[in-house]
Amino acid sequence: MDMKKIPIAISSCLLGNKVRFDGGHKQSKYCLNTLSDWFEYQPICPEMGIGMPAPRPPIHLMEKGDQIRVVQVDDHSEDMTDELKAFAHEKLSEIDQISGYIVIRNSPSCGMERVKVYHENGNPAGKSDRGIYINEIMKARPELPVEEEGRLQDAKLRENFITRVFAYEDFKKSVRSAPSVDALVKFHSRYKYLVMAHSYDDYKTLGRLVANNDGNSLTLLINKYEQALMSTLKKLANAKSHSNVLYHILGYLKEDLNPTAKQELIHVIEQYRTGIVTLIAPITLINHYIKQYGNEYIAQQAYLNPHPVELGLRNYI
């Protein structure tokens, strides 16, 4: 995989830019200090983007009839909904150049989920929604990996998001840059086990899509595959599904392994399945055996190295 930094959009305040309504920021050390070795950030502040100053009066989501609007808290006639939606659509050509988006939670513009909605009288409406700007982006580009910075503190969600970013970037470089059925078949061949770890049913569906193209045009086929792939990878893998994949890989290696090595690998997979060790343990052992015995089909599997080992993401899941 090309190790050039991956372009990622990010809520500007997470990089430490003083763009928030109170004139401050919400700098994320994890984004700045760890992920920045791999990601090239493109900061976006939609509220500043529509010309709001910093500091500025706070805004919130408000239920108005059957609509959710974003308005100034102390003056509902100041309604930014249409401008924020239009700004999102203006940004789509830039969004097409990136492979992921990290947003901040609770923002009526950028929050990905559970942003509080208020009644016109100022009381909580007892419901939540997505920030107006990011909702437009996510509706227009459902395949784009989007995650809230706060959720990256959860090891499973963090590993899932970063897996999706690297897979999406790889898909763009391997398939979108020079589209062909051959490129798609080769990509799918490398991603079979990663897909299987996220959903066995989707693994079969994606395989059928690539094998029987049903007369779709190449563009339609690639679009369908991309949507299906990215929605599959969003599903969280778990110890059971990972163990299933690990045993499939063992099936490829067992001819080459002597009985002791095979028993050792089964032992480590079982230790992982029962929660005694983390996923990195069986993966490291398998990568070791693959180096020794060189099974090409397995060696190329994205599942074995979906993201840089230096990020240590599989040490915690």
* Site residues, ligand SF4 (CB under 6 A): 11-13, 19-20, 45-47, 104, 107, 109-110
User: CB of 22: closest distance to ligand SF4 in angstroms?
Assistant: 9
* Beta bridge partner(s), residue 72: 59, 75
Q: Which is nearer to ligand SF4, 99 or 109 (CB)?
A: 109
Q: Which is nearer to ligand SF4, 45 or 253 (CB)?
A: 45
User: CB of 148: closest distance to ligand SF4 in angstroms?
Assistant: 11
Is residue 306 a contact partner of residue 167, using CB atoms and an 8 Å limit?
yes
d(C-alpha 91, C-alpha 80), whole Å: 17
Alpha-helical segments (H) within 98-238: 132-140, 155-171, 181-198, 200-211, 218-234
Q: ∠ CA 41-46-52 to the nearest 5 degrees?
A: 130
User: CB of 123: closest distance to ligand SF4 in angstroms?
Assistant: 23
3-state secondary structure at position 175? helix
Backbone dihedral angles phi then psi of residue 237, each to the nearest 5 degrees: -75, 160
User: CB of 117: closest distance to ligand SF4 in angstroms?
Assistant: 17
Q: Which is nearer to ligand SF4, 58 or 142 (CB)?
A: 58
**Strand 39-44 relative to strand 6-11: parallel, antiparallel, unpaired?**
parallel
Percent composition of the chain: helix, strand, coil (DSSP 3-state, to 5): 55, 15, 30
Q: Which is nearer to ligand SF4, 36 or 213 (CB)?
A: 36
d(C-alpha 101, C-alpha 94), whole Å: 12
User: CB of 19: closest distance to ligand SF4 in angstroms?
Assistant: 5
Q: Which is nearer to ligand SF4, 88 or 237 (CB)?
A: 88
Q: Which is nearer to ligand SF4, 19 or 167 (CB)?
A: 19
Q: What is the DSSP string of 247-311?
A: HHHHHHHTTTS-HHHHHHHHHHHHHHHTTSS-THHHHHHHHHHHHHH--HHHHT-GGG-SS-GGG
Q: Which is nearer to ligand SF4, 45 or 250 (CB)?
A: 45
- Token pair for residue 92? 């789509």
User: CB of 182: closest distance to ligand SF4 in angstroms?
Assistant: 41
User: CB of 49: closest distance to ligand SF4 in angstroms?
Assistant: 8
